[in-house]
Structure 1
């Protein structure tokens, strides 16, 4: 399996909307620790990458389909910050020799699909905020586990650098209540030597997320294909 950034631009094309249900766009990752020598470090990098992909995809969708300015503002912050965090994660994984999954987990995909089904309604905003609160709570727990139990100093340093950013995100959505805090910029995101500018990498983030089609019975590819998905939803509503 090649490393994520090597195939990001061509990993998947948009799946044909044929009406035949397709499986999740996932690849089987090597067993944790297969390349780094310690399961906690490798597992943290892989889970962080999947989490970043999910937050980027969810944030992009919310910027288009949320009904309140607050949720759209928070979504913009999530896309910005998780794009930067994922650039660092991918660079560090490459340095450590850790192969990354090609897409979010099935559970993450299913959650996003359920939220997308409520697009343009108040229920969308509520579901989105609740999902983000739960996801960021899990991410903080994963970060704290890495800080306490990780063996690789660089991976642990990345976890420490990411923690205040994730904590800020959680504060924005805690309890399913939206608080955009003026879309405050975090003080730290990059860690180690792998940081790269988000502006040059945004298009390279492989947000390749297969979700069930909401009205045509096929599969929509989220992330880079969100524009196409929104057009399909609009056409189906006519």
Structure 2
């Protein structure tokens, strides 16, 4: 199962991915790995997609804090890291409870989007590209949340989606249309409490940096190495603290 692991086990997983010569980014193990069928396929898919989205937003937010040229974009990046770290803690807790395995890394599309934005690092073009990417990503996330609310079968997963929706909507307001809305960004200073389902568990995870290097787009092994490098960089940062 792909759940929370020690640094050594993360390293072993990353090495195994490279050794085997392939990783299905976004792939997961059987839906009911622990025999708990309380989460149905639509709910499992939501948890997995949420986790990948959170990883992508954390990485994007950290990159913006380093490479954006305006304080507005840097501030939005900080908010994304804070909120998506907490949302991901709730997602992982609920997935663990329901026996749903989570992917190791964001999707290939998410990794590629950030890689393209990073090519413009340190220029005004970076800020514009970053905001446009985040606007599109958060619109997609809201659609995914609304689909879960309308069609989800597991009450806890649906409750988690409802809890996350206003946070994601606030993020969209900050980047809507590819423009940084400073008032919305400045207003987003109060830490959000993200609940894991309807069990009342509040995700109080610290805002731990998870700056993940996105491999350069190249022919051949980019998708093979992407997931492993993503996990390996997390290990190195954890070991360095």
- TM-score, scaled relative to structure 2: 0.77
Write 1 or 2 for the structure with the bigger share of helix. 2
2:219 is equivalent to residue 212 of structure 1: no
The answer to whether the Cα contact below 8 Å between 1:49 and 1:90 also exists between their aligned partners in 2 is yes
2:218 is equivalent to residue 202 of structure 1: no
The answer to whether the Cα contact below 8 Å between 2:68 and 2:122 also exists between their aligned partners in 1 is yes
Q: Residue in 2 aligned with 1:29? A: 28
- Structure 2 counterparts to residues 147-186 of structure 1, below 5 A: 147-180=149-182, 181=184, 182-184=186-188, 185=190
Count of residues in correspondence between the two structures: 215
The answer to whether the Cα contact below 8 Å between 1:25 and 1:103 also exists between their aligned partners in 2 is no
1:51 pairs, out of 50, 53, 56, with 53
Change (3 A) 1:183 1:56: farther
Unaligned runs of 5+ residues in structure 2 are 15-20, 237-241
Unaligned runs of 5+ residues in structure 1 are 16-21, 229-238
Q: Residue in 2 aligned with 1:189? A: 194
The answer to whether the Cα contact below 8 Å between 1:57 and 1:223 also exists between their aligned partners in 2 is no
Please state whether the residue corresponding to 1:100 is helix, strand or coil: coil
Q: Residue in 2 aligned with 1:4? A: 3
Q: Residue in 1 aligned with 2:41? A: 39
- Give distance in 2, aligned partners of 1:7 and 1:25: 22
- TM-score, scaled relative to structure 1: 0.78
Please state whether the residue corresponding to 2:164 is helix, strand or coil: helix
Please state whether the residue corresponding to 2:203 is helix, strand or coil: coil
The answer to whether the Cα contact below 8 Å between 2:145 and 2:162 also exists between their aligned partners in 1 is yes
The answer to whether the Cα contact below 8 Å between 1:12 and 1:208 also exists between their aligned partners in 2 is no
Please state whether the residue corresponding to 2:215 is helix, strand or coil: strand
- Give distance in 1, aligned partners of 2:3 and 2:67: 29
- Give distance in 2, aligned partners of 1:210 and 1:187: 28
- Structure 2 counterparts to residues 30-179 of structure 1, below 5 A: 30=29, 36=37, 37-179=39-181
Once the 2 structures are TM-superposed, how far is the Cα of residue 30 of structure 1 from its aligned partner? Answer: 2.9
Once the 2 structures are TM-superposed, how far is the Cα of residue 224 of structure 1 from its aligned partner? Answer: 8.0
